[in-house]
Structure 1
Amino acid sequence: MSLVPVSLSRRAVVAAAFSPILAPGVHAQSGRPIRLVVPFAPGGSTDILARAIGPKLSVALGQTVLIENRAGAGGSLGATDVAKAEPDGLTLLMGHIGTLAVNPAIYPKLGYDPLKSFVPVAWVARVPNVLVVSASSPAKTFQEFVELARKQPGRLTYSSGGNGSAAHITFEYLKLRAKFFMVHVPYRGTAPSVTDVLGGQVDATFTGAPAVLPHIRSGRLRALAVSSAKRIPALPEVPTVAESGYAGFEADQWYGVVAPAGTPAALVTRLNAEINKALAQQDVAQQLATEGALPTPTTPQAFGELIAREIPRWAEVVKAGNVKAD
């Protein structure tokens, strides 16, 4: 471990401590790992994506990358923790549509500002949502599902992993566009919300592909539509909502890495390059495909533009659906 004279400026200390990020192949001098914070419990899509790219970053940077799960308040606790961290490249957030675009409309006293508290690093992936019903549902197609909901306003139910979750706002967006009403049943997590659709206690859910693909393949759930602009490779026979009569409908979950505001541009550039390289590696691509995730390598600027576009868009949906936090 290199010793840095106390007289060096803070900027010089940061540069010396984190030269492994700036210079490929140099071993870490600080001895401190990089924290990649996942603001949710282990096992979800955010966690899976972080653990897919984490080991690749460790090798590329010559520095240990630790995945740290810090769940709570719809991802806000973990995001706030990262927002308050030193902008030295050692603390990163695996953010997603909820933490970076939806939460500002739901939590009036959010501990961070998605646009001011962070600098975008890399857009990692998008995960299409899939509208599913149980195999015993009378709705065999998306159109039949919408008609059924319209004929029985308030009698049908849909589940999500919690108030303000991606599944919740996606379904609210569908209700808004298709003009029908169903009752929301929030759960503490995606898994139980899917389990009760399987069991018939809830009529439908519109959640990320990873949570429902195994049940669709086993025949226990019926996929009616996907939220992406185009059909997805994992479910090529399932139409999009857009092609089913609602042009322009798109409501994928998306995920990406951000760092605390003030993180040096050189670190951001290097991290972006290494994450994009990781996404191009065959084993990572295969892992993402298994999860129904589509890699989205691009620039930090493009990812920042996505976040800026999504915040007002989902604020309208939250307001129209009167979405509240737990």
Structure 2
Amino acid sequence: MKHPLAIALAPILATFFASTVWAQEAAYPNKPITVLIGYPPGGSTDLTGRAVADQLAKKLGVPVVVENAGGAGGAIAAMRATRAPADGYTLFVGANNEIAINRLITPATVKYSYQDFTPIGLVASQPMVLVASPSTGIKDAGQFLNAVKARPGGFSYGSSGIGTALHLAGEMVKEQGGLFMTHIPYRGVGPLTTDLLGGTLEYGVFVLSSGLPLIRSGKVVALGVTEKARSPAAPDIPALAENPKLKNMDIGVWFALMAPPRLPAPVLTRLRTALNEILQTPEFRKTLEDAGSTIAPPNVDMPRFLAEETAKYQKVVDFAKIKE
């Protein structure tokens, strides 16, 4: 039987602890914030994450430190983010690979899903681009489709690895075009580029920012970007969807700011407000647009967006039977 004093004090203590938690959340942030990134410095995710961190520090008035925790295709940092304290002091900037795709490819080892984050907001997106080696003589998507259709299994395309967004984009082209091609996975874009330039590989898929220098210099031929519309960063490159046989092509690389699950509402509101302001900042927009990205609109319905994107990837994974 509980002591009468304990019974009397219970509501007082509950009110005290609740008010203490509320005060801590209302004062957020009052110490440095860490932004986890699942790749080494230098890539598109790292560039996006550092740009977000820089602007968050200005908006929130506290230091924001970037920590690159590479490995397992970004899954190590993502997993850390899902298991961090839900206090707003550990955040994660990731792409669709580590947030949504990895789980579909390696469910035995990737034990989290997009539902295990608190989504703060979409930051930016960037299309991929299907390219041809100049040795093929192929100049556009129509010629590509005709050539591959005429020789089923006679051509290969390369990506930066099995289960990457680049791989899924290539498989989506195959599915929608009714094509039979062999996928060649590479360890990054370096060796992929070497084989394209050397003519030992006919086709490849790049993130637009990686492919543009090669396209502009004439080392590879752009056949089309993978998102539904042309990219503002390269409006002269057609969208693959402009070809009637590929009219449903719509896949890109996107970047999002995420937090651990069960983030308190006041902290989530503070972070979402800051991100929406960041998306309108000229300096931030220029940094990402110069790198080939398109800034996301504010207040994207993230639960719906993530569910729809994951369903899209699941369809491609099932079609291509991609598993590691």
TM-score after normalising by structure 2: 0.89
- Equivalent position amino acid for 1:222 in 2: V
- Equivalent position amino acid for 1:198 in 2: L
Is 1:12 equivalent to 2:20 in the alignment? yes
Please state how far the C-alpha of 1:17 moved relative to its aligned partner: 7.3
Q: Which runs of 5+ in 1 are unaligned?
A: 1-7, 22-27
Equivalent in the alignment of 1:265: 265
Secondary structure of residue in 1 paired with 2:93:
strand
Q: CA RMSD in A?
A: 2.0
Secondary structure of residue in 2 paired with 1:128:
strand
Distance 2:65 2:177 in 1: 43
Distance 1:80 1:10 in 2: 29
Equivalent in the alignment of 1:107: 106
The 5 A counterparts of 1:120-269 are 120-245=119-244, 246-269=246-269
Q: Is the 8 A contact 2:94 2:257 kept in 1?
A: yes
Secondary structure of residue in 2 paired with 1:88:
coil
Distance 1:136 1:111 in 2: 43
Distance 1:213 1:283 in 2: 22
Secondary structure of residue in 1 paired with 2:58:
helix
Distance 2:214 2:22 in 1: 48
Secondary structure of residue in 2 paired with 1:239:
coil
Distance 1:16 1:219 in 2: 56
Change in Cα spacing, 1:11 to 1:308, as seen in structure 2 (3 Å) is farther
Secondary structure of residue in 2 paired with 1:202:
coil
Q: Is the 8 A contact 1:20 1:62 kept in 2?
A: no
Structure showing greater radius of gyration is: 2
Q: Residues 207-232 of structure 1: CA distance to partner in whole angstroms, max 9, x if unpaired?
A: 21111111111111211111122111
Please state how far the C-alpha of 1:91 moved relative to its aligned partner: 1.0
Distance 2:156 2:203 in 1: 7
Equivalent in the alignment of 2:284: 284
Distance 1:11 1:176 in 2: 56
Equivalent in the alignment of 2:33: 34
Change in Cα spacing, 1:41 to 1:153, as seen in structure 2 (3 Å) is farther
Please state how far the C-alpha of 1:260 moved relative to its aligned partner: 0.7
Distance 1:200 1:283 in 2: 40
Secondary structure of residue in 2 paired with 1:120:
strand
Please state how far the C-alpha of 1:194 moved relative to its aligned partner: 3.1
Change in Cα spacing, 1:60 to 1:219, as seen in structure 2 (3 Å) is same
Change in Cα spacing, 1:11 to 1:150, as seen in structure 2 (3 Å) is farther
Please state how far the C-alpha of 1:39 moved relative to its aligned partner: 1.2
- Equivalent position amino acid for 1:278 in 2: I
Secondary structure of residue in 2 paired with 1:143:
helix
Percent identical across equivalent pairs?
34
Q: Residues 136-171 of structure 1: CA distance to partner in whole angstroms, max 9, x if unpaired?
A: 331111111112222222232211111110100110
Q: Residues 253-295 of structure 1: CA distance to partner in whole angstroms, max 9, x if unpaired?
A: 1110111111112212221221222222222211211111000
Equivalent in the alignment of 1:298: 298
Please state how far the C-alpha of 1:18 moved relative to its aligned partner: 7.3
Equivalent in the alignment of 2:309: 310
Please state how far the C-alpha of 1:193 moved relative to its aligned partner: 2.6
Distance 2:146 2:18 in 1: 63
Distance 2:48 2:40 in 1: 13
Is 1:84 equivalent to 2:83 in the alignment? yes
TM-score after normalising by structure 1: 0.88
Distance 2:91 2:271 in 1: 10
Distance 1:163 1:133 in 2: 20
Change in Cα spacing, 1:131 to 1:15, as seen in structure 2 (3 Å) is farther
Q: Which runs of 5+ in 2 are unaligned?
A: 1-15
